Amino acid sequence: MARAARHRTNKSKQGAIARRGLMFVLSSPSGAGKTTLSRLLLRGDRNVELSISVTTRPQRKSEVDGRDYHFIDRGRFDAMVESGELLEWAEVFGHRYGTPRRPVIAALRAGRDVLFDIDWQGTQQLREKARDDLVSVFILPPSVRELERRLKTRAQDSRGVIGERMGKAAGEMSHWPEYDYVIVNNDKNLAFAEARAILAAERLKRERQIGLSAFVRSLQAKL
C-alpha cells in the first residue's frame, strides 16, 4: 500500500507543470498574528520556505542564529546594503532587518515559494523590485483590546516596549490598502485557512506556470 502511494506521488510530480515560485509576504502590527500564521504555513506546506532575515537586533535566549535570524553587527549590515546583497531592508525600533537576495532568487527559480515575515517598509521595497513575484497579505487584529492582550500574553517585551508597539500599531495599520489581500485574524485556524487559499490561488496564475505553454503544445500535438 505504501509503495503504491509513493508511486502515485512520484508520477504526479513528474507530470506537474513547471512553475516559478512566489514571494508570499505576511505583514501586521506586532501581536496581530503574522508570526503564528507563518509557522503554521511552514508546517503545513513543504513547498514553502522561510526567508531568514539578517538583523542587528540582539539575539533572544529562545532564538537560534541561522534559524530565526542571521545576527550580524551594524558594520556588516551596512556593507550588505552598499553591495546590493539585500532585496529589502528597514529599521524597526532602532534595529535593522534585511532580506538576503541570493537564497530568495534561487528558491524562486527552483519553483519554491518564499515566506516573508516583514513590515510595510520591506514590502514596499519588494514591490518596487519584484512586483510580478510578490503576493502580499496584511493581517489585522479583531480589536485593539485583543491586540494588547496578545502582546502581553506572549511575554517577550517589557511594559515600555509593549506601549511602543501599541503606539505604532495605528501607523502600521494605515498601510493595509497597499496589500493584495487582508485577513482579520480573529481565529488563527480560520486565518490560516484563508492564507492557504490565497497561496493556492496565486500558484495557479497563468503567468507563474512557466511550463504551461510547453504542456499545452504537447496536448495539441497529440490531437
Residue 143: which CATH number?
A: 3.40.50.300
Residue 86 cell numbers, joined: 539585500
d(CA 24, CA 145): 28
**Which residue, chain included where needed, has cell 503606539?**
167
Classify residue 221: in a domain, yes or no.
Answer: no
Measured in degrees and rounded to the nearest 5, phi and psi for residue 99 equal: -110, 115
55 secondary structure, DSSP code: E
Give the pLDDT of residue 165: 74
| Structural domain for 178, as ranges | 21-205
Rounded mean pLDDT for each run of 10 residues along the chain, 223 residues in total: 42 70 94 89 94 94 91 96 94 90 95 93 92 95 82 69 75 93 95 97 96 94 94
Helices and strands in the chain, H and E counts = 9, 9
Classify residue 183: in a domain, yes or no.
Answer: yes
Classify residue 73: in a domain, yes or no.
Answer: yes
Classify residue 78: in a domain, yes or no.
Answer: yes
The residues, ordered by sequence, that sit 6+ positions from 152 with a Cβ below 8 Å of its Cβ are 162
Classify residue 8: in a domain, yes or no.
Answer: no
Classify residue 11: in a domain, yes or no.
Answer: no
Considering its fold, how many domains does the chain have in total?
A: 1
Give the pLDDT of residue 156: 63
Classify residue 9: in a domain, yes or no.
Answer: no
Classify residue 72: in a domain, yes or no.
Answer: yes
Give the pLDDT of residue 74: 96
Give the pLDDT of residue 155: 60
d(CA 102, CA 74): 20
Q: Report CA-CA distances (Å) from 28 to 25, 118, 176, 206.
A: 10, 8, 9, 29
50 SS3 class: strand
Give the pLDDT of residue 150: 73
* Strand pairing report for 113-117 and 95-100: unpaired
The residues, ordered by sequence, that sit 6+ positions from 81 with a Cβ below 8 Å of its Cβ are 89, 98
